[in-house]
Amino acid sequence: MISSFMFPLGFLPYIIGGTLIGIGVSLIYIATGLHATQSSFFDTTISFFSKRPYFLQKQYLDSRGWRLTFALGVILGALIYTITLAAEGFFTTSVEWWRLAIGGFLVGFGTRLSKGCTSGHGISGLASLSSTSAVAVLTFIVVGILTALAIQSLGVLP
């Protein structure tokens, strides 16, 4: 009863998906000692094109190659799932373009200001038992819920 109310799609897709993500991050850590996180990818990729000193800092220049490789792996991993297991095949969101554009802008700005996203603060940060990341995760989850509920109450769906 509670499970179908709070977890209408069941537990398994989430637990298996989360475990696979953890295995991916673990494999990279054991092999290289690197924390495989996502949002730094924007700054390190901008460093290929920008001459601003912020983007040319050493840690960005040192990590821009493997972060690009990681992003390509993530895209291809999702493609492999889609062509092997996804019952419904390819998927296209019905979220309006303006929500993707404005939301995307705020995600890019906010994650770089906060120095972490759902993977940096959420996975690697919490796994590192970082109180800073715990504060960040709690903050973006609460604000995310309030924002989504507010937008829903204005009749904007999904």
Site for another protein in 106-145 (CB under 8 A): 106-133, 135-137, 139-145
Decide if residue 91 touches another protein (CB under 8 A).
yes
- Cis-peptide, bond into residue 158, ω within 30° of zero: yes
Verify binding: residue 11, another protein, rule CB under 8 A. Answer: yes
Residues 137, 126 contacting (CB under 8 angstroms):
yes
Does residue 80 bind another protein (CB under 8 A)?
yes
d(CA 119, CA 135): 14
Among 48, 61, 62, 152, binds another protein (CB under 8 A): 152
61 is a contact residue toward another protein (CB under 8 A): no
Residue 77 in contact with another protein, rule: CB under 8 A: yes
Q: Which of 157, 114, 158, 156 is nearest to 141 (CA)?
A: 114
- Please tell me whether residue 9 binds another protein under the rule CB under 8 A: yes
Work out the burial of residue 6: count CB atoms within 10 Å of its CB; fewer than 13 is exposed, 13-18 middle, 19 or more buried. Answer: exposed
Residue 26 interacts with another protein (CB under 8 A): yes or no: yes
Count the site residues for another protein by CB under 8 A. 119
